[in-house]
Structure 1
Amino acid sequence: MSWMLENDSGQSYGARLRGLIDSGKTLSVPGVHNPLTGMIARRVGFDALYFSGAAFSASLGIPDIGLFTLDELTQALRWMVKASNMPFIVDADTGFGEALNVVRTVKDLEDAGAAAIQIEDQVLPKRCGHLDGKTVVSPEAFAEKIAAAVGARKDTLIIARTDVRAIEGMESAIKRGIMCREAGADIIFPEAMQSEEEFRTYAEAVGGTMLANMTEFGKTPYLSADQFRDLGYQIVIFPVTTLRVANKITEELLIDIKNKGTQVDWLERMQTRRELYDLIDYERYQEIDADLSFDKKPK
């Protein structure tokens, strides 16, 4: 149901996400790159969504190296949350600056509806977590950012993502995870783990709520949500999956239209007009418009 037609549940998005985590099941959280994709994810039964910085950057036609602004991210998030009315985990990259900047980042994103805000320990210009050549800030500087985020939030969960495993190894990654937990992080996200054993070792050493990144074509082996649950992870994100599939299918369609001058071979694979209207509640808007018409009101 569209945000214009739906009443607020009265429970904050952060509280809703906490409830999902406390339920004991491992959450599969797909990344969505526009509001309509979020509505589809809700319709098929997902409980929470992920707003990836990589997917947002790509949707703007730019690489994931920290080029979009906080205001651009916040405005996009508002539309995402309104469209789906679901808890969003939001990738805030490095927090848009140092600890003081992180305070504003958290306040702005929470005001826009973020259920959880993810902050990482890379140095700008950042890179995709599964690429080489990354650099990270000191453990103390990162813990300071996490503490600032925790102090600034009202009900939003704070996620600490560390990229240090690829740079300094598992021991440093574990130390950072523990330091971030002590700084108040609700969830720890070790990026680019390279085996089941690394995931298990990390979760056992750091403890608490853990998030795993099940991205494609990276350093992490393909594991299911059930496998991650057995390794000690309560949240599994699929950050760019929907964007990659949508882009690939769109490219194939456009090539076919360019070569054949028609789309008829694709009709069976399309979302129909009726299906799209059902998704966005088109008829309900028409009913509201008719009810609001002054000409039809009794005089």
Structure 2
Amino acid sequence: MTSPQLTAPTMPRPKPGTGAAKLRALFMRPGITRIVGAHNPLGARLAERAGFDGVWSSGLEISASQGLPDTDILTMTELHTVAASLAAAVDIPVVADCDAGYGNAFNVMHMIRRYEASGIAAVSIEDKLFPKVNSFIPRRQKLASIEEFSGKLRAAKSVQEDPDFMVIARIEALIAGWDMEEALRRGEAYAAAGADAVLIHAKGSEAEPVLEFLSRWQPDLPVVVVPTTYHTVTADELSAAGAKMVIYANQGLRAGISAVSETFDTILRDGRTTALEDRIAPMKTVFDLQGMPQVMADEARFLPNSGKTDDQ
């Protein structure tokens, strides 16, 4: 099997402030919006080339890429730096996973100012207590009160400057073992507090709890879903049920772990890379993803003598 040849015209760089408007437009169009997780600009560019509508700046992926657990160990500054680099690398919207908001309402206000100024289209904050633990770890899934989290949402909306910038309220009630009534009650409260969308999170193997939430959701507010464990449901099925955005939050990271592990094992086993060459990206693809065509075009425009040798 030969690796796909990714042809790459020069990628346009995003203009400041346009990501939020593009995301708003995606939410307003018919059908479901599909975004995918990344933890560096290379992953974001692969997502853009694949045709995804946007990029999820994944806290899990960023933590894992640093060899750290997803337990609020990395600071807001560290996570923001990565999210900003994704937004600068692609022309599709970036939605940032901001965990529990890095503290109380004051931390959230500081976060919104920083993320919005970096051209990020939206942030997602979850209603857990800080510091949080990844939702798929079966321990310590403690929730903040509705009043506390609603205060964070109101604080977030009070400081944003771009009206298109979105704050997504992530509901963790089903993750924490609460029932559907609590999930709906929280979602309705977050809608009233000014959230631009709600994200209903679940970790079972079946989609039924999420589909039930969608069927019972009353507020005129978009719902976001993350089918990490209930992966057999399709985007079209989720759209028909009422979901407006689906996030494939960590599949790129997991695919990379498998592919790199297999590649390294093959090199050690064979003592050469020949068996891999038709399955790994050619160097041209790497150069294209780095933006070398633009560098060469700029070199011809602005450094006309740079390619000449001393005797030319």
Q: SS state of the match for residue 167, structure 1? A: coil
Structure 2 unpaired stretches of 5+ = 1-7, 307-312
Q: SS state of the match for residue 268, structure 2? A: helix
Counterpart check, 1:140 vs 2:147: yes
Q: Which segment is superposed worse, 10-19 or 116-125?
A: 10-19
Specify whether residues 43 and 206 from structure 1 end up closer, same or farther in structure 2 by C-alpha distance, changes over 3 A only.
same
Question: Retained in 2: the 8 A contact 1:130–1:192?
Answer: no
For residues 27-68 of structure 1, give each alpha carbon's deviation from its aligned partner in whole angstroms, at most 9, with x where no partner exists. Answer: 111111210111111112222111111111101110000011
Specify whether residues 8 and 118 from structure 1 end up closer, same or farther in structure 2 by C-alpha distance, changes over 3 A only.
closer
Counterpart check, 1:69 vs 2:75: yes
Question: Retained in 1: the 8 A contact 2:102–2:130?
Answer: no
Report deviation, 1:294.
Answer: 7.0
Q: 2:262 — aligned with what?
A: 252
Could you tell me which of 132, 146, 157 is aligned with 2:166? 157
Specify the code of the residue in structure 1 equivalent to 2:213: Y
Report deviation, 1:123.
Answer: 1.5
| 1:30-179 equivalent positions in 2, closer than 5 A | 30-133=36-139, 134-155=141-162, 156-165=165-174, 166-179=176-189
Identity across the alignment (%): 27
Question: Retained in 1: the 8 A contact 2:14–2:90?
Answer: no
For residues 123-158 of structure 1, give each alpha carbon's deviation from its aligned partner in whole angstroms, at most 9, with x where no partner exists. Answer: 233122133221111111011111111112223100
For residues 227-279 of structure 1, give each alpha carbon's deviation from its aligned partner in whole angstroms, at most 9, with x where no partner exists. Answer: 11122101000111000001111011111112221111010011111222233
Specify whether residues 93 and 80 from structure 1 end up closer, same or farther in structure 2 by C-alpha distance, changes over 3 A only.
same
Could you tell me which of 182, 187, 196 is aligned with 2:192? 182
For residues 92-142 of structure 1, give each alpha carbon's deviation from its aligned partner in whole angstroms, at most 9, with x where no partner exists. Answer: 001011011100011111111211100001123312213322111111101
Question: Retained in 1: the 8 A contact 2:13–2:89?
Answer: no
Looking at structure 2, the residues matched to 171 and 154 of structure 1 have their Cα atoms a distance apart, in angstroms, of 34
Specify the code of the residue in structure 1 equivalent to 2:289: L
Specify the code of the residue in structure 2 equivalent to 1:143: S
Could you tell me which of 248, 264, 280 is aligned with 2:290? 280
Question: Retained in 1: the 8 A contact 2:102–2:131?
Answer: no
Q: Which segment is superposed worse, 174-183 or 9-18?
A: 9-18
Question: Retained in 2: the 8 A contact 1:118–1:161?
Answer: yes
Looking at structure 1, the residues matched to 32 and 153 of structure 2 have their Cα atoms a distance apart, in angstroms, of 24
Looking at structure 1, the residues matched to 178 and 246 of structure 2 have their Cα atoms a distance apart, in angstroms, of 24
Specify whether residues 95 and 222 from structure 1 end up closer, same or farther in structure 2 by C-alpha distance, changes over 3 A only.
same
Specify whether residues 261 and 26 from structure 1 end up closer, same or farther in structure 2 by C-alpha distance, changes over 3 A only.
same
Specify the code of the residue in structure 2 equivalent to 1:96: Y
Specify the code of the residue in structure 1 equivalent to 2:286: L
Could you tell me which of 11, 20, 27 is aligned with 1:14? 20
Matched residues, number: 292
TM-score (normalised: structure 2):
0.88
Report deviation, 1:2.
Answer: 9.3
Report deviation, 1:9.
Answer: 4.9
Question: Retained in 2: the 8 A contact 1:193–1:199?
Answer: no
Q: 1:28 — aligned with what?
A: 34
Report deviation, 1:281.
Answer: 3.1
Specify the code of the residue in structure 1 equivalent to 2:217: A
Q: 2:217 — aligned with what?
A: 205
Question: Retained in 1: the 8 A contact 2:17–2:119?
Answer: no
Specify whether residues 2 and 148 from structure 1 end up closer, same or farther in structure 2 by C-alpha distance, changes over 3 A only.
farther
Specify the code of the residue in structure 2 equivalent to 1:89: V
Specify the code of the residue in structure 2 equivalent to 1:254: F
Specify whether residues 136 and 10 from structure 1 end up closer, same or farther in structure 2 by C-alpha distance, changes over 3 A only.
closer
Instruction: Please state which structure has a larger fraction of its residues in helix.
Output: 1
Q: 2:309 — aligned with what?
A: none
Question: Retained in 2: the 8 A contact 1:66–1:93?
Answer: yes
Specify the code of the residue in structure 1 equivalent to 2:208: E
Specify whether residues 127 and 222 from structure 1 end up closer, same or farther in structure 2 by C-alpha distance, changes over 3 A only.
farther
Looking at structure 2, the residues matched to 139 and 263 of structure 1 have their Cα atoms a distance apart, in angstroms, of 55
Looking at structure 1, the residues matched to 33 and 256 of structure 2 have their Cα atoms a distance apart, in angstroms, of 23
Q: Aligned-residue CA RMSD in angstroms?
A: 2.0
The 4+ residue runs of structure 1 with deviation greater than 4 A are 7-11
TM-score (normalised: structure 1):
0.91
Q: SS state of the match for residue 131, structure 1? A: coil
Could you tell me which of 203, 209, 227 is aligned with 2:237? 227
